[in-house]
Amino acid sequence: MDDIQERYEALLLPSAALINDLAQIDGDIMLLGVGGKMGPAMARVLHQAIQKGGFDKDVIGVSRFSEPGLQEELNRMGIETIAADLLNDEQLMQLPEVKNVIYLAGTKFGTTGKESFTWAMNAYLPGRVAYKFRNSRIVVFSTGNVYPLTPVICGGATEEQNPEPVGEYAQSCLGRERIFQYSSLKYNTPVLIFRLNYANDTSYGVLLEIAKSVAAGTPIDLTMGNVNVIWQGDANEIAIRSLLHCETGGKLLNVTGPEILSVRWIARKFGELFNKAPVFTGEEEPTALLSNAAECCRLFGYPKVSVMEAIEVIAAWIQQGKKTIHKETHFQERKGQF
């Protein structure tokens, strides 16, 4: 195994804080939508933490498993898997009852032109899932896109900010939140709404997109001049630990890094590592899609992987030609068209 692979693998290991919190979470944990970008790594770190802690609980991953080999890979790790289409009500209702659910299912990419499917996944399905798992704790993945663009100088939207989603994707995500909140009150289900932006790994994310642009000499649009980012491994651990903070009515939680980062600064850092000057277009607007992560840091502490470490690992990953996936974040989108 080469050095960058070893360094990357080390960043995926479960923290002591995760293992300590798992000791307080009773029952098995089901990941709905485990086949997405974050699900496989979340299942892995959760299973490793359970093993290290010696806990008597199972990890169950549910997905359509459209990616060849993923189900078998998870099974080899010791993770129980169930192939199911969550939009198929019969298959959904046949899933086993569990005490803890992390809801990762949803759609974003290709929303334009497939609006009805987007609403079905992001607003209709949550009602069926909330009913099926009304006796569980549920961490619901959402997005900072439910917030409006806010002035950079204000430090990002807090959980008290009224949602003002732009475009049908963001509107459907607010619909997901509202349905889970309604169901939480109706069934007295503890829920946490996990407003994430933006998770980053070596294979995808805002940092990787900027890095690729720098390496290729592609102009980087500075109109959305500032972003929040968090390492995927940190976001995954926070999601699992959030099971301890679910509340009836739905606790809102912004999940991202504590910094408001300049896109220009990120690009220049990659430029230093690549020995290549980034190319820019446009000028920074005074507003951006930003979340304030103060509450998240209060509950879980600061992320263990710093922005600079993430940048260094991603740069080395690109330089060595390692595998990435082609799912853009569209972080520069200002009109809600995904």
pLDDT in tens, 262-284: 999 999 999 999 999 999 999 99
Mean pLDDT, all residues of the chain: 95
Is pLDDT above 90 for 315?
Answer: yes
* Angle at alpha carbon of residue 313, lines to 307 and 316, rounded to 5°: 140
Q: Which amino acid, residue 96?
A: P
The answer on pLDDT for 312 being more than 80 is yes
Backbone angles phi, psi at 79, to 5 degrees: -95, 130
Q: What is the pLDDT of residues 114-157, one digit of tens each?
A: 899 999 999 999 999 999 999 999 999 999 999 999 999 999 99
Q: What is the per-residue pLDDT for 1?
A: 42
Q: What is the pLDDT of residue 190?
A: 98
pLDDT tens digits, 179-231: 999 999 999 999 999 999 999 999 999 999 999 999 999 999 999 999 999 99
pLDDT exceeds 70 at position 111 = no
Mean pLDDT of 13-30: 97
Average pLDDT of the residues in 26-35? 97
Residue 298 in tokens: 């209060």
The pLDDT of residue 325 = 85
CB-based contact 253:196 (threshold 8 Å): no
Residue 313 or 107, more confident: 313
Q: Which residue has the higher pLDDT, 209 or 110?
A: 209
Q: What percent of the chain has pLDDT over 70?
A: 98
The model's pTM = 0.96
Q: What mean pLDDT do residues 57-68 have? A: 96
In percent, how much of the chain has pLDDT > 90? Answer: 91
- In this prediction, residue 107 carries a pLDDT of 85
The beta-strand segments (E) located in 165-206 are: 190-196, 199-200
- The Cα–Cα gap between 70 and 41 comes to 11
Whether the per-residue pLDDT at 2 is higher than 80: the answer is: no
Neighbour-count burial of 9, counting CB atoms closer than 10 A to its CB (0-12 exposed, 13-18 middle, 19+ buried) = exposed
* CATH class of the region 3-201+231-258+289-302: alpha beta
Contact residues for 59 (Cβ-Cβ < 8 A; gap 6+): 28, 29, 31, 43, 46, 47, 50, 78, 79, 80
How sure is the predictor about 109, in pLDDT bands with cuts at 50, 70 and 90? low
Q: Is the pLDDT of residue 338 over 70?
A: no
